[in-house]
Chain A
């Protein structure tokens, strides 16, 4: 039931800003402060990335109105939810947000069906943009409806939590490390559903994570938080390639590349991808995928080496024409991270300083990037 004495929601003001999210939060606690000023795209997935204690979750709670920052401004695609300067604070239950909690946070006294109904019933029919059946199908939870949350696996709980949030027809979907409490197998079970959200939802998603893999796989926009401050914010690929960020600390440095499935070699079990806007091809061991499907792959800097000649006697599968953009010395001095352009994409190569000097690498130089390993992040 909808509580009869519930006050009519205060009219939510609209402001200019369609197509983007503007958020400014200032929170001061003993031992912790958050001070962020964010401009995020009005659709697609924005990842808030950082170590624990960096303020990711605090930030997300401010988005939802679960915490009230001392100073704050928040507008989501033109809807003004907070403007502390004007004394505006729309409480959590009057914001059109969907929130997926780290531990799912399902109501233990209600069946899955009634958990889903809880939010749905509170949305006027005219404002519903997703039907129960759709959400159930999208998250693959049709067989769970009559169960109690206590009888579900962690992954199933998360999927129900996501469906429950979606059924409130939110204008902004917030996910707080939905995979963090799951083991690898459960993660693999939930990730495809998150990718479907990404592909099928028209609303912006803010995704909190401390896993580079998840971020690389799901995000379009990356916000790097450190000690409650924004260290970097920008489109995913660009930001990943910014060699000045802790994100690229040596072993972790990586690039994300989009490709289209162009062929599959049955006899060798190799999948061929074409980099968009070019004739350059990448191959990786993988089962067949539909031709023309768009996929996202991850290439670690340590798996990329550079050579001046197109060696055709190497065991390395992928040898791509590249152009040197810039480089940075990494901390321990023995290595250099070199950023190169391949077609429209950018990669990073982690090579020794000795090799760097021996090849006398120059800006704008053309050379070959040998890619030892490619991992497929997603296919949609």
Chain B
């Protein structure tokens, strides 16, 4: 049975969400990972723990707090309203924010490992060769951390594709806006459209397998988490 129009829309929306989330995650996760890899600050452990929270928290906990805090009476909601953005629940932007928080450890940790593995040596060499900190970051750290960036992007992307609880809690199941593939599968199951559910669920299974297979084959000699 072919996919319905709504299914196709949900798949596209999912890919869009995962791509945008991955870009935001790399922009946001890189400085965090860099800081965590280099700092001796006593805030290192607490910040590291906060970043890792989504690894252990049920997505519904994150979703619930996001629903409350992004709502009209919540901290984020008040902020976005005062900026004239309205509230972000039930919006694509809201999903991106939720997904970014939810997938953050999957990007930060591989990057942090990669940065730690590089160590201070290459940066010090760059400094004595007249490269300033930014220069050294782009010409030495980025190329050396490339495998870490690949792992981080793939994991961030794949984890966002597979996200469900958070999206369910703050999405509102709006076709084309917040109705992503995982929620659509849930809809099909709930409404007993099992054949439809199989098409989507099987597709996601295949997708996840291919992504992980590519990741493992690409780095067959190295452990993903170092």
Residues of chain A having any CB pair with chain B under 8 Å:
1-3, 5-7, 64-66, 91-94, 97-99, 101, 103, 105-109, 118-119, 122-123, 164-165, 168
Q: A1-B139, A109-B143 are in contact. Are A119 and B129 (CB under 8 A)?
A: yes
Judge whether A118 and B129 touch: CB under 8 Å: yes
The segment out of B47-55, B130-138, B176-184 that lies at the interface is B130-138
Bound form: Cα–Cα A123–B134 in Å: 17
The answer to the question of B121 belonging to the interface, with a C-beta cut-off of 8 Å to chain A, is: yes
A118 touches B124 (CB 8 A): no
**B126 CB-CB contact with A under 8 Å:** yes
Let me know if A66 and B134 touch, CB within 8 A: no
Question: Is the C-beta of B122 less than 8 angstroms from some C-beta in chain A?
Answer: yes
Q: Judging by beta carbons under 8 Å apart, are B128 and A2 in contact?
A: no
Provide a sorted-by-A list of 11 A–B residue pairs whose CB atoms are within 8 angstroms.
Answer: A2-B135, A6-B134, A64-B128, A91-B127, A93-B135, A101-B124, A105-B125, A107-B144, A118-B129, A118-B131, A122-B129
Question: B125, B126, B136, B143 — which one has the most chain A CB atoms within 10 A of its CB?
Answer: B125
- Asked if B140 CB lies within 8 Å of chain A CBs, one says yes
CA distance A91 to B136 in the complex (A): 14
The answer on a CB contact under 8 Å between B132 and A3 is yes
Contacts of B140 in A (CB 8 A): 107, 109
Are A101 and B132 also in contact (CB < 8 A) when A1-B139, A3-B138, A109-B144 are? Answer: no
Contacts of A98 in B (CB 8 A): 128
A92 to B131, alpha carbons, bound, how many Å?
Answer: 9
Q: How far does the Cβ of B127 sit from chain A's closest Cβ, in whole Å?
A: 4
- Given A101-B121, A108-B144, A109-B143, answer yes or no on A92-B135 (Cβ-Cβ < 8 Å): no
Interface of B is mostly: helix
Interface residues of B in 85-132 (CB under 8 A from A): 121-122, 124-132
- Shortest Cβ distance from B150 into chain A, in angstroms? 14
A224 to chain B, nearest CB (A): 26
Closest to A118 in B: B129
Contact A93:B130 (CB < 8 A) given known A2-B135, A101-B125, A118-B139: yes
Interchain CA distance A365-B69 in the complex, whole Å: 95
Closest to B130 in A: A122
Measured between beta carbons, the chain A residues less than 8 angstroms from B125 are 99, 101, 105-107
In the complex, what distance in Å separates the CA atom of A66 from the CA atom of B136?
14
| Chain B contacts for A165, CB-based, 8 A | 128-129
Q: What chain A residues lie within 8 Å of B138 (beta carbons)?
A: 3
Chain B residue numbers with a CB within 8 Å of A97 are 128
Q: Chain B residues near A164 (CB, 8 Å)?
A: 129
Closest chain-A Cβ to B93's Cβ sits at a distance in Å of: 30
Q: B residues within 8 A CB of A118?
A: 126, 129, 131, 139
Chain B residues closer than 8 Å to A65, beta-carbon distance = 127
Contacts of B143 in A (CB 8 A): 109
- The CA-CA distance from A2 to B126 in the complex, in Å, is 12
The smallest beta-carbon distance between A31 and chain B, in angstroms, is 16
Chain B residues whose CB sits within 8 angstroms of the CB of A66 once the complex forms: 124, 127-128
A2: B residues at CB distance < 8 A: 135
Q: How far is the CA of A93 from the CA of B131 in the complex (A)?
A: 6
Chain B: minimal CB distance from A108 (Å): 7
Q: Are A123 and B130 in contact (CB under 8 A)?
A: yes
Q: Specify the chain B residue showing the minimal Cβ separation from A101.
A: B125
* Chain B neighbourhood of A101, CB < 8 A: 121, 124-125
Is the beta-carbon distance between B128 and A3 smaller than 8 angstroms? no
Tell me, in angstroms, the Cα distance from A99 to B123 when the chains sit together. 13
**Complex CA–CA separation, A170 to B127 (angstroms):** 13
A365 to B96, CA, bound (A): 92
Specify which chain B residues have a CB less than 8 angstroms from the CB of A91 in the assembled complex: 127, 132
Most buried by A among B132, B134, B135: B132
B147 to chain A, nearest CB (A): 11
The 3 closest A-B pairs by CB, nearest first: A3-B135, A119-B129, A99-B128
* Contact across chains for A107 and B122 when beta carbons are under 8 A apart: yes
A119-B130 CB under 8 A given contacts A105-B124, A107-B125, A107-B140: yes
Q: How far is the CA of A369 from the CA of B56 in the complex (A)?
A: 80
Minimal Cβ-Cβ distance residue in A for B134:
A3
Closest chain B residue to A97, Cβ basis: B128
User: Which residues of B lie under 8 Å from residue A119 when comparing CB positions?
Assistant: 128-130
Measured between C-beta atoms, what is the minimum distance from B223 to chain A in Å? 19
Shortest distance in angstroms between B117's beta carbon and chain A's nearest beta carbon?
Answer: 11
Q: Are A6 and B126 interface neighbours, CB within 8 A? A: no
Name the contact of A168 in the complex, choosing from B122, B124, B130, B135 (C-beta under 8 A).
B130
Residues of A within 8 A of B128 (CB): 64, 66, 92-93, 97-99, 119, 165, 168
Contact B132 A103 (CB under 8 A): no
B126 to chain A, nearest CB (A): 7
Among the interface residues A3, A5, A66, A91, which one has the most CB atoms of the partner chain B within 10 A?
A: A3
